[in-house]
Structure 1
Amino acid sequence: MFKAIVINKDDKGYRAELDQLEESALPAGDVRVRVQYSTLNYKDGLAITGKGPVVRSFPMVPGIDFAGEVLESTSPEFKVGDAVLLNGWGVGEGHWGGLAQQARVKADWLIPLPKGFTAKQALAIGTAGYTAMLCVMALQKHGVKPADGEVLVTGAAGGVGSFAIALLSKLGFTVVASSGRPQEAEYLRSLGAAEVIDRSSLSEPGKPLARERWAAVVDSVGSHTLVNACAATKSEGAVAACGLAQGMDFPGTVAPFILRGVTLYGINSVTVPKAKRIAAYEQLSALVDLKTLDAISHEISLGEAIQYADALMKGNVRGRVIVDVNR
């Protein structure tokens, strides 16, 4: 038997509960893992609270990432005792995920636990930090340099935003953080933000083109915020979009793209090829200060995850939430 958060939708309604399950209940896969840590992400919040159509089949165990130890494997790639990490691939949505003490998944979805990180540290980074790194890699590929000017990070106090600030600052960029939580200004500056602006300056309908300010943008918010960020991006600048906290709509025009040559990069962290995942974690290993992980993250128990999911959806959670599934 093992503990898991289980989401059901039936005659009793939509609900998430902490439950005890048999190993035989696990879905198909060629690697069974003893999960040590998972995390609570925005997508997990949507799934647990039912505030978004994330879950595609029921019952479902949420948790879009996890780290743990291989218990059983029919894949030549992994053996019993191997330390492994998973981000994405639809776990917690269409396949049982990491908010449980055990998981069974496809070997292709796993990578070895990155060198230099414990399981807890890897999950302090989690999908949010890994996604932030993919955003930064897109800007690097575009050729954006610190000398080009300020980089805007929206949704700055969230997991992706927090990591984006820390990573970009470490690389020498001048980072401007946009947040709707003025009380987090000191926290954001401690991560490396040179300036903190109120999200209201970006979240309302704006002009097709605004004064050029940003050399680049990392956006986890979407909707009007993304549109306004694009409108104020400098000629030949780049915007990396990875989230939809404000909405998945894009109520804007093509003006920034055809009049200024702005490039919009869509960041999909779910189905990234294994080699690129490993490359992202190699950069994270070089850039992430372990003290920063402590500042960005805090730990909860599996039993607390349902309550925290509601707080996350209300915008009351800072940074990363690590879930120790064994307490």
Structure 2
Amino acid sequence: MFNAVYIEKNEQGQQARLAALDEDALPAGNVTVAVEYSTLNYKDAMAITGKGGAVVRQFPMVPGIDLAGTVLASSDPAYQPGDAVLLNGWGVGERHWGGLAQRARVDGDWLVPLPAGLSARQAMALGTAGYTAMLCLQALERHGLTPADGEVLVTGANGGVGSVAIALLARQGYRVVASTGRPQEAAYLQALGAAEVIDRAALSSPGKPLQAERWAAAIDSVGSHTLANVCAGLKADGAVAACGLAQGMDFPATVAPFILRGVSLLGINSVTRPKAERVSAWARLATDLDLDQLDRITHEIALGDAIDGASRLMDGGVRGRLVVDVNR
């Protein structure tokens, strides 16, 4: 038996509870993992609460798009019992049982070896949010961005992606401007490396198609009017890595920034990247980030607190990352 957050659906709707499950109930897969830590991402919160859109594609479901732990059994030649591994994406926690449990059975192709220098807890302090932030940085680097080009804007700065993005960019020598709806958290963002903190209200309402050129680049996890205004305020040949939709899925913009300033919109899909890209991103997280910053970003909770934590996350009451110790 193992403990898990378990989501069921009936005529009254979907409900999440902490349940003790038999290992025979685990879905098909060629690697079984003893999970040590998972996380609560925005997508997990949507899955558990049932708010904000349809995340869970089949029921019953164990949520959790991230996990880190140790291989218990494997018929995949790439992994042996005792190997330390992590996983994010691939529909885990949506179509396939996920990491908010003490056991997981998955496809070995979805796993990444835990990089040297990272503990399972540190890996989950980063999780999909940190991995996505690194994918954004790598996309901007491929576009040619360097610290000498100017300021980099990070929207949704108090969230998981935003927090890690600020720390990563600052460590690489960029001048980072953080946009947040919680100005009272300015000291936290500055401690991560933000040189300036602005109120998200400056970006979240409809704006002009072209605005004063300020940002050399941006990492946006918000979407909607915020993303449109970011594009409108990019310098010529600048770029924004877009990875989220906290404000909305719409993109109420014009083509003006793209055809008059040559800006680029770089879409970031963190769910189904090839394994080589995953390994590269995780290896850089282990070396390019000041891991001491993770303590500023991270709050640890027990598995039994995950359902309440999901509600707080949906209500905007969480900053940084929620790491879940599934064994307490």
Flag whether TM exceeds 0.5 (same fold).
yes
Matched, 1:6 2:9: no
Tell me what 1:139 maps to: 140
Tell me what 1:50 maps to: 50
Matched, 1:179 2:150: no
Tell me what 1:60 maps to: 61
- Where in structure 1 do 4 or more consecutive aligned residues deviate above 4 Å? none
> Per-residue CA shift, 1:71-122, capped at 9, x if unaligned?
1111111011111100101100011000000000000000111111111111
Separation (CA, whole Å) in 2 of partners of 1:182 and 1:314: 17
Tell me what 1:161 maps to: 162
Asked if the contact 2:177–2:194 (Cα under 8 Å) also holds between the matched residues in 1, the reply is yes
Asked if the contact 2:157–2:179 (Cα under 8 Å) also holds between the matched residues in 1, the reply is yes
Where does the alignment leave 5 or more consecutive residues of structure 2 unmatched? none
Q: Letter of the 2:210 partner, please give it.
A: L
Local SS of the residue matching 1:229: helix
Local SS of the residue matching 1:78: coil
Tell me what 1:107 maps to: 108
Return the TM-score normalized by structure 2. 0.99
Separation (CA, whole Å) in 2 of partners of 1:123 and 1:215: 30
Local SS of the residue matching 2:247: coil
Q: Which moved more, 1:228-237 or 1:6-15?
A: 6-15
Q: Letter of the 1:125 partner, please give it.
A: L
Number of aligned pairs?
A: 327
Tell me what 2:326 maps to: 325
Deviation of 1:13 (Å): 2.0
Deviation of 1:290 (Å): 2.0
Give the CA RMSD over aligned residues. Answer: 0.7
Local SS of the residue matching 1:264: strand
Q: Letter of the 1:115 partner, please give it.
A: A
Return the TM-score normalized by structure 1. 0.99
- The percentage of counterpart residues that share the same residue type is 69
Write out aligned runs for 1:297-316 (5 A). Answer: 297-316=298-317
Tell me what 1:20 maps to: 20
Tell me what 1:194 maps to: 195
Tell me what 2:30 maps to: 30
Separation (CA, whole Å) in 1 of partners of 2:115 and 2:283: 7
Tell me what 1:254 maps to: 255
Deviation of 1:204 (Å): 0.4
Deviation of 1:256 (Å): 0.8
Asked if the contact 2:171–2:290 (Cα under 8 Å) also holds between the matched residues in 1, the reply is no
Q: Which moved more, 1:96-105 or 1:274-283?
A: 274-283
Separation (CA, whole Å) in 2 of partners of 1:174 and 1:228: 20
Tell me what 1:86 maps to: 87
Tell me what 2:245 maps to: 244
Separation (CA, whole Å) in 2 of partners of 1:13 and 1:285: 41
Separation (CA, whole Å) in 2 of partners of 1:129 and 1:48: 21
Deviation of 1:147 (Å): 1.2
> Per-residue CA shift, 1:259-316, capped at 9, x if unaligned?
1110100001100111111111121111111210111101000000100101101111
Where does the alignment leave 5 or more consecutive residues of structure 1 unmatched? none
